[in-house]
Structure 1
Amino acid sequence: MKKALLSLGLLAGMVGAAQAQTGIKIGLKAGANMSSFTGTDKQDVTSRFGISAGATFNFALSDMIAVQPEVLFSQKGMKLRYTGDDSSDATVFNSTGNVSGTFGQTLTYLDVPVLLRVNTGGSSGEGLFFELGPQASFLVGQKSAIDRGDKATVVLAGPNRTNPTGGSMPAFAVGSSTDDFNRVAFGYVAGFGYQLPSGLSMGIRYTGDISQAYKDGSGTADALKPYQAFDARFTNPKVHNSVFQLQVGYTLGL
């Protein structure tokens, strides 16, 4: 009888430990993005502000280790101050052939990271945590605009269009076409943060794309259709999304 009771006690303890280690938690998070481009053709881009928000799903594998997939709406992009000259094509630009202004671009993605999360506070998840994992990003839309400068520069699309006749002319198309962009990008996420016993958390992370933001080859943006012969001289830039994120979340255990 004693052995049977002892066996039942051990079994109950093992079941309780397994339940503690394999809990499922869901949560919500929101935050700010500071995004830019990296890559061969990034030029002198500066960061732009965006937002991120979505849901998290935390599957504990042990007291310290969990797998955390997320679905996040995320605004990325950049700003670029540009100047250039191509007097030979002055009729396309303006009376002098000069192009200048500040170009702003917002790329909206649905990010789906799958993170390995290490909790230093044990099964409760509170305390300092670290996270690392791959991410797939699905382009939802884009919006480009000239903040100031010569509006005639809308006849070009994409940063750092290389001019084969010599020289470089970083001018841009304005609009919402996604024809020039890769619809799916793959990258990585790395970060850390702190979670309170109440379920509130704050974290800092970096997300970088391995895939290029633009497609290879010549641009096909709608704004270029009246100037297709002219556009054939230019190619899409080789750049990748680069984002620093500050996030606040709330996690509810199930």
Structure 2
Amino acid sequence: MRRPIALFSFVLLTTGSLSAQHPRLGIKAGLNASTYAGASLPRSDYQFGATGGLLLQRPLNQHVDLQSELLYEQRGSELRYSNRAEGVTFTTIDYIRTVRSRLHYGSLALLVRPHQGAWFAVAGPQLSYLVAEKRTIRDQVNVVVGPVDPVLPDGAARTVRNKQDYNRGEAGYVLGIGREIGARWQVEVRYAAGLTKLRQPSVVVDAIYGPERVQHARNRSLQAQVSYLLPAQ
């Protein structure tokens, strides 16, 4: 992961020589609707979170800008696993685990921004680093056959914080479209996706729910953002 980060930082530092026109600094904020994607995942629901940070636009020519961004992003998902098993008193049960995750990332993106009139698009790579995470886990049991087993989970939620379960670095990409509103405001919608696997192997979850279900998940986000370009100095 170190080599892509170093290369990406070098590109950002050298973009100043690409154009003699003045760069435009701005701030942005928005909303993420994020989830996990993967062929073997259980049902994965969207989680809503905030995003915000800084942007820097450097014109390359009349219709294309280079836009770098430094963002804070809240991501996550709600996964629902189910497994039928036998209880210790020969009770047949449906064992259901709900895992709601909240992931906090710092992201650095380098985007090409073609524009025509008030409309523009953005596309390019993004590198993210996991700063913090929290999972709320709830285990529930539905008895299918037999008496209620007194040792079964009572449905109480518990909180887990363990970044070691996740890959800290993530390589991904961004695609979006937007519109300028006046000289300084702009709104956009975008799709952001991770190319790096989200999770490290988790012995407890994998033993109960299967070895491939979580390890191959990747982040996916739909985003709506509003940006404001600061006055030129």
2:230 matched to 1:252?
Answer: yes
TM-score computed with the length of structure 1 as normaliser: 0.69
Higher strand share: 2
Q: Which residue of 2 aligns with 1:37?
A: 36
Rg larger in structure: 1
1:94-129 Cα deviation digits (max 9, x unpaired)? x876422432111111111110001213xxxxx111
Q: Which one of the candidate residues 58, 79, 99 is aligned to 2:95?
A: 99
Percent identity, aligned pairs only, is 26
Mapped to 2, the partners of 1:83 and 1:153 lie a distance apart of 16
Root-mean-square deviation (CA, aligned residues, Å) is: 3.0
Q: Take 2:30 and 2:98, find their aligned partners in 1: how far apart are those partners?
A: 26
Check the 8 A contact 1:21/1:63 in 2, yes or no: no
Instruction: Tell whether 2:69 aligns with 1:78.
Output: no
Residues 219-238 of structure 1 mapped to structure 2, 5 A cutoff: 219=202, 234=211, 236-238=214-216
**Residues 1:42 and 1:22: Cα distance change in structure 2 (over 3 Å):** farther
SS at match of 2:166: coil
* Residue 79 of structure 1: how far off its partner (Å): 1.0
In 2, the alpha carbon distance for the partners of 1:146 and 1:175 equals 8
For 1:65, the equivalent position in structure 2 comes to 64
Aligned with 1:40: secondary structure? coil
Verify: 1:203 aligned to 2:203, yes or no.
no
Structure-to-structure mapping, 1:88-237, within 5 angstroms: 98-121=94-117, 127-146=118-137, 149=140, 152=153, 174-215=159-200, 218-219=201-202, 234=211, 236-237=214-215
Q: Which runs of 5+ in 2 are unaligned?
A: 1-18, 142-151
Distance verdict in 2 for CA 1:153–1:248, change over 3 Å: farther
Q: CA separation in 2, counterparts of 1:62 and 1:251?
A: 19
CA offsets 1:118-152 (integer angstroms, 9 cap, x no match): 1213xxxxx11111000001011111103673694
CA contact (8 A) 1:21 1:62 kept: no
Distance 2:202 2:138 in 1: 22
Change (3 A) 1:153 1:141: farther
TM-score by length of 2: 0.75
